[in-house]
Structure 1
């Protein structure tokens, strides 16, 4: 939760910086900055696609090889130590994999603030298990369905020009608040 709150604080800081830029630069130049700050699924840089695919495959293989260790880490630091797993090392390795995957997606389409939280929450809801052998593929499927289905629904069915990232941020923000309130009552 602390890492998530830190991300929200940095997001607010960057939005404040964007608001400052909006007041300081020419409105035409600001519109260029604003378009670049939204995730754009229709304009993926084809030159980055091969590199991103390779880096993503390596990170996914590393995550899959780590799936049993993630199950042990999910039991808590004391239990993980008793089972022979170093929690700090395991969490650091997981964070490296997460950082690589987030950086690849950000390089391809732009920032998506709440997609990870939304996908993990939906994957836990759909597959109520603690096994990462099931959670990792289900989270991948949920994220693909969310992005492709959401884009299709917005553009083809509803005929809206609203960026998908706005909808994901709204729904992800609501899920985040629900998780915070649920955690407070436990």
Structure 2
């Protein structure tokens, strides 16, 4: 019996890897729709800690997130980030734009350390209520990354969020579960 269960788990894990390869993360850079920032669209299969991964990649590339829209339906997520360089300007260098796409894809791709689970609990109804968190304060580089790390450490899943900055102020409204 244990052999049958182990075989079922292995095939389920292989199925998850197959789904990941069939639906790789999609990263689109848009330098046309916003006059003062480069817009980075990221969508993929959802997994625990994925928001933190994307924000850390953008932070590691020394980009400043001026606005973010985060959305998730449980199995999939779509995040949109308005980013600038350290001087507050759009990213126009093609090499830098390609690096953004490559690093995010590598972080979220099949080689990343987490594969999203497709297993569902039978007979358990998910709650439609989320906890809303409102944050305001002084903006600084890495703030969204730190907030994401804290929420990840508390095992909170960000379902929806709007984040924005103006001058030296930052604000966010996040729905977590």
Category of TM-score, reference length = shorter chain: 0.3 to 0.5
How high is the TM-score relative to the length of structure 2? Answer: 0.32
How high is the TM-score relative to the length of structure 1? Answer: 0.31
Q: Which has the higher strand share?
A: 2
Larger Rg: 1
Q: Which has the higher helix share?
A: 1
